[in-house]
Every structure is written in structure tokens, then in C-alpha cells.
A and B are shown apart, each in its own frame.
Chain A
Amino acid sequence: QKEVEQNSGPLSVPEGAIASLNCTYSDRVSQSFFWYRQYSGKSPELIMSIYSNGDKEDGRFTAQLNKASQYVSLLIRDSQPSDSATYLCAVTNIGGATNKLIFGTGTLLAVQP
């Protein structure tokens, strides 16, 4: 079983719709959760971090964490073609140590104009 799992996609949504990206993790003691956006051929850039159960909003982005069910999701409202990218979920599995940050393989999002 992979430690961090994401559907590889592509997830195709029309412009203006809500894109929902999901991630599940296997280690129950995971403490910190991150979403990165990676455009083709570029390095990942941090979008959001979340540490507590519930929702965290930042502009058009909302991260949702449910530790009991071991999943974290990212919602993108009013999706734009510029949001088309691969979204990586990352989880720390021991005490929030950055050297223990585990990445999923990413979900490719395609926003159709």
C-alpha cells in the first residue's frame, strides 16, 4: 500500500467549475499536510498547508482535512485554465519532520475553457 495515494487523473473540469482533488494517507500519526502545484516542466510550488481537522480557505483554494478517515482534499473554486497543472499532496509521517515528508504522485488537473 502506498503511503500517500492520489488519483493520477486527468481530472477535467470546465472553466468556472469547482475542482476537487483528493488524497489519502496510510500513517495515522501524520501531522502536517501540504498541497503543491506543479506546472509541466517546472518545480512544485506550495499552495496550502493544513494541520487541524476541518477546512482552511485561502482565496479560491480550500483544503479539507479528516484525520479519522485519513484523507485530505483540495477544492479549487471558479477554476481557470491557468489552474491546469499537477497537484501534489504531501504528508509528514513522524512528528512533522520535513525529512519524512512523503509525496503522492500527483493528480493532473485540466481546466477546459
Chain B
Amino acid sequence: SQTIHQWPATLVQPVGSPLSLECTVEGTSNPNLYWYRQAAGRGLQLLFYSVGIGQISSEVPQNLSASRPQDRQFILSSKKLLLSDSGFYLCAWSVLNTIYFGEGSWLTVV
């Protein structure tokens, strides 16, 4: 069966510091991968999605970037965090047209 792992689970970062969140999927090959953000009291916002290695589409302009160095690895990064980057970040993968989420990463920028 397929599983998705995401880390770290929680982190507190100062404004202006870099960010790296990592996600890996097991049990499948060539998955579509996604990064979502859920801010407090708001809905899920799609940040990036990828259909293959090195193929990244950005849905909204922002202070973040994504990379897919391997088929089942997806990384979310920032060079300098802003306070507004705080939120719950979710990696996800899809099979057919259904999306499944990882455990999520809570980011607090202080």
C-alpha cells in the first residue's frame, strides 16, 4: 500500500530564516505530488504541484519554492520566511483523481 511521510511535524522559525519541508511517498511510482497550506480559519490553498521529476507548477505567487529531485520526493523551501508564512503545510499525492494527504507540518514564524 502507498504511504506518504512528511517532516518535520512542527517547527518554530524566526522571520528571515530559511525553510525546508520534505515529503516522500512509498509504494507507488511517478505520483502527482502537491503542497498545500492551511492558514488558521481558512481553507486549503494549493501552493505547488508536480507531475514528474523537475516539473513544478506554482499556483500562487509567494515567498516559497518547491523542488522534486527524485520521483517520490517533494521539497518545499523558502530563503527568508515571513510572518505570513505561518500555517499548516500539507504534502499530498494523488492516484487517478483522488488526493491523499500526509501528516502535515505546523510552521510558526516568530
Contact residues of A with B, CB < 8 Å? Answer: 4, 32, 34, 41-46, 49, 88, 90, 92, 96-99, 101, 103-106
Contacts and interface: CB of A to CB of B under 8 A. Distances in A.
Contact of B46 (A44, A46, A101): A101
A105 B42 contact: yes
A1 to B, nearest CB: 14
A99 to B, nearest CB: 5
Interface residues of B, number: 21
Interface of B: 32, 34, 41-44, 46, 49, 57, 59, 90, 94, 97-104, 106
Contacts of A97: 97
8 shortest A-B CB distances, which residue pairs? Answer: A103-B44, A105-B43, A43-B104, A43-B101, A98-B94, A96-B97, A99-B49, A103-B43
A44 B101 contact: yes
Contacts of A44: 44, 90, 101
Nearest to A103: B44
A98 B104 contact: no
B32 A98 contact: yes
A101 B99 contact: yes
B97 A99 contact: no
A76 to B, nearest CB: 20
